[in-house]
Amino acid sequence: MIDALIFDKDGTLFDFRASWGAWTQSLLAELAPDLARGRILGAVLGFDAETHEFAKGSAVISHTTPEIAALLHPHLTGISLSALNELMNALSVSAPMLPAVPLRPVLSALRARGLTLGLATNDTELPARTHLERAGVLDLFDFVAGCDSGWGGKPAPGQLLAFARQFGLTPARTAMIGDSLHDLDAARAAGMKAVAVLTGVATHDELAAHADVVLADIAGLGAWIDILATD
């Protein structure tokens, strides 16, 4: 039985490559005056500045915004760490987000089942709320947490446990849905079901051993919940 779902954002609700590829290109354009510098900073981020592809272990996939800034800052001059964080957050707010599925109908159908919906992202909270609002689904979420909301970031379970506490949820009857091992590890640490989706960069084989189920995308959640109810 599942009472609640808490979603990762990037790579889960929104297609990772399309959305954060554009953000990373914009960031490199701001920070790198030439292609050579762009290659260096791209390598730090695990992003190919020429092909616009992410490496499997890219910091953009799994790290919080302050963690990404801390990785970049030693390779930069003329910008403070706080200013770099501000720039990254500003670019994040304006980043074009491409939904992985038609979000409004999928999430509305899940709410119609009586499920409580939450969001836990390693992005900061303001951009997360902005992206949900632009996608027309912010009102469907009962809880939104970013890495700066007071509970840390994933793979630690703080955001997930805060969601459970706030709504009186039983973790074992709650599922965390995400596209990365950070998401699945957070789910396990919180005592929640771990649901992997393939709308990020990681493959089925990379995720399967860490998940209760691997779905193509979040549109498959309803059918999975129905299967659980019959077990």
**Dmax of the chain from CA atoms?**
60
Segment 197-211 mean pLDDT: 95
Nearest CA among 65, 58, 121 for reference residue 88: 65
Q: Residues 95-122: pLDDT tens digits?
A: 889 999 999 999 999 999 999 999 999 9
Write down the CATH number for the domain with range 4-15+97-230: 3.40.50.1000
Going by pLDDT thresholds of 50, 70 and 90, the confidence category of residue 205 is very high
Cα torsion 175, 178, 180, 185 to 10°: value is: -20
Residues above pLDDT 70, as percent of the chain? 100
- Report the pLDDT value the prediction gives residue 187, as an integer from 0 to 100: 98
Cα torsion 184, 190, 191, 193 to 10°: value is: -40
> Identity (one letter) of the amino acid at 31?
L
Write down the domain spans for the chain.
4-15+97-230, 17-94
Residues 6+ away with beta carbon under 8 Å from 13: 7, 99, 100, 103, 119, 132, 135, 137, 218
pTM, two decimals, is: 0.85
- Report the pLDDT value the prediction gives residue 130, as an integer from 0 to 100: 95
Measured CA to CA in angstroms, residue 219 lies from 79, 101, 106, 201 at distances of 42, 7, 6, 18
Residue 102 CB neighbours (<10 A):
11
Residue 75 has pLDDT above 80, yes or no: yes
Residue 88 CB neighbours (<10 A):
23
Spell out a b/e string for 124-139, using b for 16 or more CB atoms within 10 Å of the CB, else e.
bbebbbbbbeebebee
- If you write DSSP's letter for every residue of 183-230 in order, what string do you get? HHHHHHHHT-EEEEESSSS--HHHHHTT-SEEESSGGGHHHHHHHHHH
The better pLDDT of the pair 211, 49 is held by: 211
Residues 6+ away with beta carbon under 8 Å from 28: 38, 41, 42, 47, 49
Segment 147-155 mean pLDDT: 96
The C-alpha atoms of residue 175 and residue 160 are separated, in whole angstroms, by 10
Dihedral of alpha carbons 60, 66, 67, 69, sign: positive
Residue with tokens 């390693």: 122
* Highest mean predicted confidence (pLDDT) among 36-45, 80-89, 101-110: 101-110
Residue 33 has pLDDT above 90, yes or no: no
The C-alpha atoms of residue 30 and residue 214 are separated, in whole angstroms, by 37
Do 128 and 10 meet the contact criterion of CB atoms below 8 Å apart?
A: no
Residue 92 has pLDDT above 90, yes or no: no
- Report the pLDDT value the prediction gives residue 209, as an integer from 0 to 100: 96
Beta strand ranges found along 88-148 (DSSP E): 116-120, 143-145
